[in-house]
Amino acid sequence: MIQINDHYLKLQASYLFSDIAKKVAAFQENNPDKDVIKLGIGDVTNPLPAACIKAFHAAVDEMATTSGFHGYGPEQGYEFLRKAIADHDFQARGAEVAADEIFVSDGAKCDTGNIQEIFSTACRIAIPDPVYPVYLDTNVMAGRTGEYSDGRYQGIVYLDSTRENNFVPELPNESVDLIYLCFPNNPTGSTATKEQLKVWVDYARAHKALILFDAAYEAFIRDETLPHSIYEIEGAREVAIEFRSYSKSAGFTGTRCAYTVVPKECVAYDAAGNAHSLHALWNRRHCTKFNGVSYPVQKAAEAVYSEEGKAQCKALIDGYLENAKIIGAAMTELGFTYVGGDNSPYIWVWGDRDSWDFFDLLLNKAGVVCTPGAGFGKCGQGYIRISAFNSRENVEKAMERIRTALS
């Protein structure tokens, strides 16, 4: 008798964004004459930068020739992209990262979900609350948790992120092995200073723990006192793996390209206490289960680092940050408190009511889709997340609709 992985049965009914999609589809079916403005899921709306499109076309043309054709590429990514990443994203900011420590992939979501495979199921996991659901759900699937009860899984150390700590979690009161951190944060939009990250790096070094640092939104940082990478923190190369993505910074949500950095100093231990290279383990997993990102996509990603590409990507992000200011101003006008929006595309709004009720209100009365905070964890109850990813016209229209609905 073929059996399933019973741990999947612990998962809640469906993925958060699937629930949202079903509610929106039902609303549109019942209200075919009403258009919906989506400020929920973090999907970009603007076209790819012109520099990326140009490089993409040139690479496709290469593929049409015998001399320029590329078949299977290196699973870790082409050298031209890995070197550009190391030079521009890290070394230019004083962070020591080498090209051969970078693994190009098809998405940070995939990498943050897959990375847990190389760790023991006995690892004690610390995960912020609220949090991007992939971190938690993939550990549930792997069997690192107990049952779901009262809004949380048994066996997980939850790191509460609340107004009281400015949505930057404090160190756990118990020893943990694997720590998930995300800054600028999804969903709260909060940021962490170098001093705050140093506390976590020091903890990881003292406890032989590892930090999984999701920096997918670092390109939105405009406050230059804030770190863009955890490797700007002394000692982080020994205890941190970092994830980055071109999805939000360059509009690659439909093109798929990201990367993970695994420094060669990073180690984890076997049952006997012997240290093993995480770089080598992730390389083995990557080569076995991943076949590489296509050559044209990697050439398009390389163009992000050209002078034209840098300027065009900055213009895209500046536009989304302007949207965030419009949303924040509307929330303030309506009397809501919020965080995020200045170094992040997300605005985390305290609604002083049930998250899903607030979601339903905005959908049914204003035709605006947000994301209910409760979907990100127990500490998200009462909040909604509003995304700045849309056109300025739609954002302004959405805010006017919300003003009318809540007046």
Share above pLDDT 90 across residues of the chain, in percent, rounded to a whole number: 95
pTM, to two decimals: 0.96
The pLDDT tens digits of the residues spanning 161-216 come to 999 999 999 999 999 999 999 999 999 999 999 999 999 999 999 999 999 999 99
- Residue 16: give its domain's CATH number: 3.90.1150.10
- The yes-or-no verdict on residue 148 having pLDDT over 70 is yes
Residue 14: which pLDDT band, with cuts at 50, 70 and 90? Answer: low
Residues 102 and 215 reside in one and the same domain: yes
Residue 266 lies in a domain: yes
How many Cβ atoms are within 10 Å of 186's Cβ, its own excluded?
24
**Residues spanned by the domain of 30:** 6-47+308-406
Q: What is the mean pLDDT of residues 292-311?
A: 98
Q: What is the mean pLDDT of residues 289-293?
A: 96
Residues 192 and 327 reside in one and the same domain: no
Residue 21, pLDDT score = 86
Which pairing describes strands 152-153 and 337-340: parallel, antiparallel, or unpaired? unpaired
Q: What is the mean pLDDT of residues 358-377?
A: 95
Residues 63 and 26 reside in one and the same domain: no
Residue 194 lies in a domain: yes
Residue 297 lies in a domain: yes
**d(Cα 93, Cα 103) in Å, to the nearest integer?**
19
Which residue, 256, 271, 306, sits at the end of a domain?
A: 306
Task: Give the chain's mean pLDDT.
Answer: 96
Residues 389 and 252 reside in one and the same domain: no
Residues 98 and 33 reside in one and the same domain: no
Residues 39 and 170 reside in one and the same domain: no
Residue 215 lies in a domain: yes
Share above pLDDT 70 across residues of the chain, in percent, rounded to a whole number: 99
**d(Cα 141, Cα 137) in Å, to the nearest integer?**
6
Residue 1 lies in a domain: no
Residue 15: which pLDDT band, with cuts at 50, 70 and 90? Answer: low
**d(Cα 218, Cα 179) in Å, to the nearest integer?**
19
The pLDDT tens digits of the residues spanning 37-93 come to 999 878 999 999 999 999 999 999 999 999 999 999 999 999 999 999 999 999 999
Residue 290 lies in a domain: yes
- Residue 237: give its domain's CATH number: 3.40.640.10
- The yes-or-no verdict on residue 280 having pLDDT over 90 is yes
